[in-house]
């Protein structure tokens, strides 16, 4: 056996949402509401760009992603040098920890949240400090109090995965004011396109004020390119140049780059799809509230149903009987918003909370276990 780094065997394995292989006939009609993906196939213009780029994959991609970075800079009104790319925004999360965390330091985040922060922290050899959500929302006061001399990175998932709850502008500014400027604050906005003001406020609005702020976005969710792997961060020029040191060379392939640019070109068509998902989210949430479910307000493309493990088990079984895949957690269940037909099937499967075993989950989340994680 080889000698391994201390702590490597404690790194949690990424727990992707369950999925059914499309090649398996048994999965015909399966509603995959387990991984927060878009239910829509690529737009024709994006498929065309993918096909054109595929014809040139004997060549390496542009290592700097120059065209995409220029387009993103234009779209966000920032300089190209403020944009960093990654193989999904998850790579930019890794870059953030790689440049700042190390053994003897701490990485701070809420819990439950995107569990990859736990693996990232462990890989950097740092210690995780988790601050429980309060009422399924980030508790920015408790988070600010948890910052110490050792804190190197603070992750804020906004809207939060898996609860869908958002951090507002005043809360975000409070947190950034409370965190020392030598500590990197990563505001992970993978689901920002589904959020509405004033519940949600983007970190992008604070970029000019805080040089230690990194805002993450992705083409995996609202842009429907999860399978291609392209995400990005926007930050100060100085921080961006440091993050690029930790980037895996050529990690964003030429097909992904071309598809992302074509998706920016198709911005209005994609915005219409996002509006459809938001309307469906609100329809499903209202329907469930009418049935007696008590859900936190979601600003993402998924809903969080607080439930004891026994209830979540029962719910997952009901969904499976109707060929609906969902994501179960120790403290609840996360359901991604799909097409109207899929959502109707989900609603039929969930039924009323009165038919289930009694719940005992409080609106704080200290019992949430690590390891298995959502995508």
Ligand X SMILES: Cc1ncc(COP(=O)(O)O)c(C=O)c1O
d(CA 131, CA 156) in angstroms, rounded, equals 11
Q: Does 231 bind ligand X (CB under 6 A)?
A: yes
Q: Does 124 bind ligand X (CB under 6 A)?
A: no
Q: Does 220 bind ligand X (CB under 6 A)?
A: yes
Shorter beta-carbon distance to ligand X: residue 88 or 306: 88
Q: Does 165 bind ligand X (CB under 6 A)?
A: no
d(CA 310, CA 307) in angstroms, rounded, equals 8
Please identify which residue in 178, 204, 206, 226 interacts with ligand X, judged by CB under 6 A.
226
Show the DSSP H helices in the chain as ranges.
Answer: 44-54, 66-76, 89-100, 116-123, 140-146, 169-178, 237-245, 254-265, 267-291, 309-321, 340-350
Q: Give the contact letters, 241-270, x = binds to ligand X (CB under 6 A), - = no.
A: ------------------------------
By CB under 6 A, which span of 87-95, 131-139, 250-258, 354-362 interacts with ligand X?
87-95
Please identify which residue in 88, 164, 224, 296 interacts with ligand X, judged by CB under 6 A.
88
By CB under 6 A, which span of 2-10, 66-74, 84-92, 314-322 interacts with ligand X?
84-92
Residue numbers 21-60 binding ligand X by CB under 6 A: 36
Residue numbers 91-120 binding ligand X by CB under 6 A: 114
d(CA 374, CA 334) in angstroms, rounded, equals 9
d(CA 143, CA 348) in angstroms, rounded, equals 39
Residue 135 CB, nearest approach to ligand X (Å): 19
Torsion angle in degrees (nearest 10) through CA of 112, 113, 117, 121: -30
CB 217 within 8 A of CB 192: yes
Q: Does 65 bind ligand X (CB under 6 A)?
A: no
3-state helix, strand, coil split of the chain in percent (to 5) is: 40, 15, 45
Residue 213 CB, nearest approach to ligand X (Å): 16
Q: Per this entry, what is the length of the chain?
A: 375
By CB under 6 A, which span of 63-71, 83-91, 270-278, 289-297 interacts with ligand X?
83-91
Residue 244 CB, nearest approach to ligand X (Å): 17
DSSP state of 302: E
Coil, strand or helix at 260: helix
Residues that bind ligand X (CB under 6 A): 36, 88-90, 114, 157, 161, 188, 190, 218, 220, 226, 231, 375
């Amino acid at each position: 056996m080889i000698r391994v780094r201390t702590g490597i065997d404690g790194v949690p394995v990424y727990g992707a949402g369950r999925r059914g292989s499309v090649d398996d006939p048994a999965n015909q009609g399966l509603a995959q509401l387990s991984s927060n993906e878009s239910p829509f196939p690529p737009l024709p213009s994006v498929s065309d760009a993918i096909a054109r780029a595929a014809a040139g994959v004997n060549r390496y991609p542009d290592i700097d992603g120059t065209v995409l970075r220029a387009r993103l800079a234009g779209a966000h009104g920032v300089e190209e040098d403020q944009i960093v790319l990654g193989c999904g925004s998850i790579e930019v999360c890794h870059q953030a920890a790689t440049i700042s965390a190390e053994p003897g330091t701490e990485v701070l985040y809420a819990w439950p949240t995107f569990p990859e922060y736990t693996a990232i922290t462990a890989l950097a050899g740092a210690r995780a400090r988790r601050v429980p959500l309060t009422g399924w929302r980030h508790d920015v006061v408790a988070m600010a109090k948890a910052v110490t001399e050792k804190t190197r990175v603070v992750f804020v998932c906004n809207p939060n995965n898996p609860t869908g709850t958002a951090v507002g502008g005043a809360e975000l500014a409070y947190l950034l004011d409370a965190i020392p400027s030598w500590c990197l604050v990563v505001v992970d906005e993978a689901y920002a396109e589904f959020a509405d003001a004033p519940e949600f406020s983007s970190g992008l609005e604070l970029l000019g004020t805080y040089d230690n702020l990194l805002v993450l976005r992705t083409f995996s969710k609202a842009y429907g390119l999860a399978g291609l792997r392209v995400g990005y961060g926007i930050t100060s020029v100085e921080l961006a140049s440091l993050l690029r040191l930790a980037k895996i060379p050529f990690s964003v392939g030429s097909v992904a780059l071309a598809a992302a640019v074509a998706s920016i070109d198709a911005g209005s068509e994609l915005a219409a799809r996002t509006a459809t998902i938001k309307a469906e989210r609100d329809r499903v949430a209202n329907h469930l509230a009418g049935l007696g479910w008590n859900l936190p307000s979601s600003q993402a493309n998924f809903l969080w149903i607080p439930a004891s493990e026994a209830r979540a088990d029962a719910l997952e079984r009901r969904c499976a009987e109707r060929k609906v895949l969902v994501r179960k957690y120790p403290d609840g269940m996360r359901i991604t918003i799909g097409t109207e037909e899929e959502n109707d099937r989900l609603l039929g499967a969930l039924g009323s909370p009165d038919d289930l075993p009694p719940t005992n989950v409080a609106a704080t989340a200290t019992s949430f276990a690590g390891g298995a994680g959502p995508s």
